[in-house]
Structure 1
Amino acid sequence: MTKEVEQTHILIVDDDPIILKVVSGFLEKKGYGLLRAKNAEEALDLLSEHEVDLIILDHYMEPGMTGLEMLKALRQDDDPVAVIMLTGADDRQVIIDSMQAGAQDFILKNSGVEFLLKLDQSVIRALHVGDLERKIAKSHQALQDQAQFLQTIIDAVPTPIYYKGTDQKILGCNKAMADFIEQPIYEIVGQKIDGLYPAEISEKLQQHDATLMDEGGELLTELAVQRSDGEHHILSHKARYRNAEGESGIVGAVVDITERKLYENELRLAQTVFETTSEAIIVTDLQNGIQAVNPSFTRVTGYSEEEVIGKDPGFLSSGRQDKEFYHNMWMQLCEKGRWQGEIWNRRKNGDLYAEWLSISAVHDETGKITQYVAVFSDITKRKKAEELIRHQANFDALTNLPNRNLFLDRLSRSMVRAKRNGTQVALMFLDLDRFKSVNDTLGHNIGDALLQETAQRLLGCVRETDTVSRLGGDEFTVIIPDIKHTYDIEKVSMKVLHELSQTFSIEGHDIFLSASVGITVYPDDGVELEALMRNADTAMYQAKEAGRNSFRFFTPEMNAKAHEQMILERDLRQAIEHKEFCVHYQPVIEVTTGQVTSCEALVRWNHPQKGLTAPGYFISAAEETGLIDEIGTQVLEEVCKQIHQWKKVPEMKAVRVAVNLSPHQLRNENLVQDLQTMMTKHGVEAGQLSLEITETLVMQDPQGTAVLLDEIRKLGIKIYLDDFGTGYSSLNYLKRFSFDVLKVDRSFIMDVHENEGDAALVEAIIVMAHKLGIKVVAEGVETIEQQKFIIEQKCDLIQGFYYSKPLSAEDMYDYCRSTTA
């Protein structure tokens, strides 16, 4: 028994048990695998559970479905199993019906021995035929599957694809082709090209097809095709193919290049703009290296494209913009993707030029920056024109001084700044005396030259921060901001009058002029601009009425005060020259002993008219004019002399003298050397001289002061911190500068017996100083109550009118002698 027979399964269906038994027994001996059924319904149930290679089917069965009906049912379900029909009747029509229904063979049951022989032959034949049919069906199915797979692939391709046979009819296409043609696939298949495109296009394509069919190869053609959504540009790509039978055909693809054509047109347009625009263009990469420039760039900068490719545009920089400018520019570029503004650069020939620059970032489809494009135009001529217009609008054409327009703006700004800073602004109106007479006599050319020279002289009288303006004719103004003292205004006014009274030599003419000046001050005289101008004008006419070649303040009080300050400065200079300053000494009492251990040297001025005057009258003016240095030197000289004289007197030998140092003196680079020289000259020993400085003085230059005080201390001079509590009162400075003595300011002492706050502060200062090893002097003690309080707080030293006012050297000696008696 062969393996193939063992694996063959046959279903026998017959309602006759004898036939079923005979056929089954015969085939079983042949080695076939068998299934048996008495009717069609039972057979169909078996088929639903088992696969068989052959069915031997009785034609007529009852009850139920006949064999012919079962055969038809199987074929209707596309079941290809081989079937041999059995029948007991020799009916030709039955045979025909069975064969038409799909039976492989037909056998009569009453054939006797021949029946089994025929059955054997029929089974072998039917199985062979069935096997062939299955293989053919399987091969056909494989071809169908492959065709379907290829069609699926073609449909998945987004490019329209089609193929044609020898007769030029389309055999198939993909969905993309149907979408492009705007027809369903079933309508496209079977058509020729002239059914898809207009005549002028189809004729051209048919010529290409004929060439391909004859010569083979491939062709690429660009065409414009009209669709419902407008004109499309396509590339038609075709090639000849041959099928298995050797027949030729054409396969083609249609590429829609409409967007590419639009992009090419836009690119061409952009290139034209790039090449022809009057604005210069630079394209850089992310590292700011130049990738491209246009001809206008070369025209503006003078650099050719070859000279700049790969360079950083920074080589154009003029240096006018600082690093912060470029930092802010790149910050805005990174945050917003664009920047624009005015910038100055340098041409190849070295000339500077102004440009209006716009920089934009270029992004790819993901939003990532890929490049930067800078577009700029040369605005140098426009800037010069604007500057000329601005200058003409704000400056006098004759003198080049600010005109009325700019004068009003600067005066307004000065007033705003003065209000904010708490300072003053002086406004001077100036009119040339007898100018009209000169102008009428010598002519306008001489008059104009005279006005120009006047302008230059006025500029030489003021600071750079001041403003000299010409309002018209021979009227000038001067704005002096940040005024601290009224006599500063008077100094400027006197300088102006002096300069303008000097001879003017113009074109061979010696001209003598004078001026009248009116002065007003903001905010003292007014806070409105118009009021100040009116006041200054009024004061100027008052000056003219007073005899010309003079100045007048708007208010008599201010005029008197400014004059007084000028006189004070003059008198101070004379006082220094004539040595009119003397020194008085105020005793400092040691609390524990009640004895005078030191004194403070206080300057006095023996004024020729006013007599002996205290420093409150002149010290501020001396400091502001810088005369305090010379006064301080005279005081130190006098003190050293006095110390030398007192060394000879037992009662005065141990009395230390403290001298105040001003800020000006402390800034003197030769202070230490001068002190040493003076002490050596007069025989002043270490411990006999002390210096007093204020908290404010220390704060002005802590580091420099620390170095200076260390140098002074090396001379044996003790350092006092004066007026403690009125300034910054920093504990850090107390520790850092190692003061020997701390003086509590009189403002804290005067109310200690009535004000608990002042009392607490004084107590705290004393305790703190003692903790730091610093002695304390209570200044300004004037009453018994104050004295008792200070003593109770264990203060070291007391100074004040309670004990003594400042005394002359002789009286100081008498006081010390009386306290030791």
Structure 2
Amino acid sequence: MTNKELGIVDCLCPNVILVDAYQRYKEVAEQTDAHVFVVFTEQGELMGLVTERQAALFPNRIFADLLLRRQPPPVDNSVPILSTLNRMEQDSVNHLMVVDGKGQYVGIVSRLSIITALVERERDLRKDLEHLLLDYRRELENRRIATAVFEATSEGIMVTDAKQRIQLVNRAFSKTTGWAVKEAIGQTPHILHSGKHDEAFYKQMWDCLQETGAWEGEIWNRRKSGDIYPEWLHINAIRNDQGEVRYYAGVLSDATHHQEMRARLHHLAYHDALTGLPNRQLFLDRLTQAVAQARRDGDSLALLFIDLDGFKEVNYTLGHLVGDKLLCQIANLLQSAVRENDTVARLGGDEFTVITQTGTDQTGVITIAEKLLSTLTHQFNIDGHELFVSASIGISRFPEDGDSPEVLLMEADNAMYQAKAIGRGRYHFYSASGHNRFVEKVQMSARLRQALAEKEITIAWQPQVDMATGSVVGMDALARWSPDGKAVSPDLFITLAEQTGLINQLGEQVLQIAAGQAAAILAEYPRAGTPLSFAINLSPFQVNSAGKDRDTDNLADTMLGILTQHGLPTNVVELELTETAVTSHREGISDIFQTLGDAGIQIAVDDFGTGCSNLATIKQLPVHKLKLDRSLVMDLCDDPTDREIATAVITMARALNLKVVAEGVETEEQAAILRTMGCDIAQGYLYSRPLPMTELRSWLAKQAD
């Protein structure tokens, strides 16, 4: 302690009068809180203590006199605090000098300093105690949490000592194994042994535990009831500070539901989620095995590729939920129509396959194909909708058509497209010639896509003539494509565009060209009275896709935007659609026609008389013309039936206040008959073949002359 801490004012000489010391004390008392003086000789020898009270009571004494008569002996600094307090009681003093073992002065101790030290020590002890209590409470709470987690966890826990005697288990252990806590304590894990593992298995487990301190894996154990079950077990060795094993802690979980989940995931990985049939992956695996077995046994097999006809229309009109239910019913019918050892698979969408071992009998394959087609010729009642579907089946055989699964699948797929080409609801065996045609079709599709990108499509105009006056009243725009200088039939490439989804792009490109050229014709060849009309074909697929997506405004806006772009008046534009497209009941299609009609565009029904007409629907739409199909015009001179049909169409058109245009007029005799019937307009080679723009200009110039 410092002198100030001891209450010492100063070190004084022994000859100082107390009154002077006391006076000095009073001068500094307010600032130093001094209560005692330490007295040394001039040589620095310690003489003793003089208190404030002594200085006040004996003002005329000198320090030396007081010290010699009233000085208590000093206390050794090694004496305990309580002994020092006892000395102060015995000597009736409040202060004692403190010396070291050699008798050298080291300081002063007072009752106040001792009490202060004790209070501070008690305060420190109290703080330490509070920290200990807080740590204890935390540890106690952690133990409670650990105990709660130990009991609440869904995994079983078993703790054994180093000799594998069970010391502790939780409720999940009892629930999983059937052994109650009291029954398990003191036992060894041997009570769980199933007998399904040999000694080598357990040796490997314990070797791993000794080397790494942990083991994890699947193990078969036995419940108390005797049931054997799979268990996922994780064991950890718990060591003391010396590295010795004190406990083994095992965490176990019943893997039965995990195995069920794995089986479920395995099934989903190899089976179609909707129908439950084998999916593409499992199908390819089974096809590979079937080919290998047939090759090994010198046998044959057949692969049938099934594609539903018209299924997309079900999805478009009734929604995917109805379509999914239909697929499930079809999957069940296909499975019931084949033998037990045959494989029915769903590749995706509305495509199914059948793998069948047929020996060398082609008749057997035909029987299966016909049975499948017959099975699907079935009325399906789904959510109140009566649905009818058919299928096209392509067939490839091993080893005749191919010797690998990939080749067989490709060939069956090609054969299926050949079946669709000759008429839906049929089967077709793979043939090299058909494959070549399919390859040509694929190549042509790619070439058509490129032609659209590079704007290679052109149009030709075929004039339409008023049959009463012989004057030109309109032009019919016909798409043309001539890759490498060789013309491709419009029926071929337009159908191809419809099948490959390119029809919207093709239709928009034709409309762009036709609108630009029609505007130029109007500017170059003005005429008094009624202007020329310009007929532009619109594919049913364009209309159906817009009706399906209910994007009617987009289709109409696109067409009107193109006409505006080229400055072509809408009242000279005539859109030609087949009667099937016009009379379709798809939601949204009527809105398309109405929007275009309100804009002034006229609608002509193309190929009229070849389909199933719906006059009530035609009457409600902005239809202005009916086009008599060329198949009816061709045999007018020789076929009375065609004449009767043509007469009926023209009569009906007049009743509906519609004009009739006859297509394919090639002879004067045909034209005379049509005039007699009252036909309004004709087009055909009798008047002009379809002309490109350069030739059309010359032709129109001659007509003007």
Q: TM-score range by the shorter chain?
A: 0.3 to 0.5
User: Which structure ranks higher in relative contact order (CA pairs < 8 Å, sequence separation ≥ 6)?
Assistant: 2
Rg (Cα) greater in structure: 1
Q: Please report the TM-score for the alignment, with normalisation by the length of structure 2.
A: 0.42
Q: Please report the TM-score for the alignment, with normalisation by the length of structure 1.
A: 0.37
